[in-house]
Amino acid sequence: MTDEAVDAVDAVDAVDAVDALRADPAMSPLRHSLEVSYGDPARTAAMDAWYARFLQPGDLAFDIGAHVGDRIGSFRRLGARVVALEPQPLCVRAVRTLYGGDAGVTLVPAACAAAPGTVTLHLNSSNPTVSTASPEFMRAADGAVGWQGQVWDAQVEVAATTLDALIAGHGLPAFVKIDVEGFEDTVLAGLSHPLPALSFEFTTIRREVALRCLDRLTSLGPYGFDLVLGDSHVPTFHRWVGASELAAHLRTLPHAANSGDVYCRVRRP
């Protein structure tokens, strides 16, 4: 079978797996996420084009907070091997359904934190996208415009590892994506040396988390930064700026900007 034929078969299998998840009543809380993540070819193409800036075939990528795995799919289409962390049991089941047969994907059903052990994960049963290990994140969301109706109605103790432990076990990744709902600074506290490139989510209800992430990264290496708002995959600066410039921009963003991702790359002399 040709490489093109294998890719076509894999694509059909992926569509079948997504359809099976959508049809599963137990997966109803993830139905919207599955539709957004796997139902928009233009979004998928834009995502792949964006991450191609950071990943080449044969690279290793970490996906910290994999949710339903759309970034896993993008990284794999670019030829990277993926270590994916996801602590939510329902999301773990979805990722296993979609990527369990892919030898290039290692799924770790755990959270990432400052130290190994356990963390308390607060579950939002109706909107698992915003489940979090940060009580401060929940308090900031309470009553905030755009966050009305969000309820964290259950909690579970989950295993936790660190970025340093993942690197020791799997190797140094070319790129790490971190999206953990206000827990990003805690994840970076478990990193003791610079990564070539990474991204971390920010929200306007917890800007201080992003500022602490910038401080942590600049203590580790000579990083440059850019910002992508929402799910646009369009950079704000189109260049790598310093931490102080990025921090000033984050402070002035309107609340309605809501969220996005800060991209970080080590600057070479």
Rounded mean pLDDT of 95-101? 97
CATH number of the domain within which 54 lies: 3.40.50.150
State the total domains in the chain.
1
* Residue 166 identity: L
As a residue count, the chain comes to: 269
The pLDDT of residue 2 is above 50 = no
Query: What pLDDT score does 6 carry?
Result: 33
Q: Widest CA span of the chain, in angstroms?
A: 56
Tens digit of pLDDT for each residue in 174-233? 999 999 999 999 999 999 999 999 999 999 999 999 999 999 999 999 999 999 999 999
Query: Domain limits at 207?
Result: 3-266
Query: Hey, is 114 helix, strand or coil?
Result: coil
CA 265/CA 263 separation, integer angstroms: 7
- What are the tokens at 88? 């939510």
- Asked if residues 214 and 227 have their Cβ atoms less than 8 Å apart, the reply is no
Say what the pTM is. Answer: 0.93
For the chain, what percent of residues have pLDDT higher than 70?
A: 95
The pLDDT of residue 161 is above 70 = yes
- Asked if residues 106 and 82 have their Cβ atoms less than 8 Å apart, the reply is yes
Query: What pLDDT score does 30 carry?
Result: 94
Query: Hey, is 191 helix, strand or coil?
Result: coil
Name which of 163, 149, 166, 87 is nearest 121 in CA terms. 87
Q: pLDDT confidence of 15, banded at 50, 70, 90? A: confident
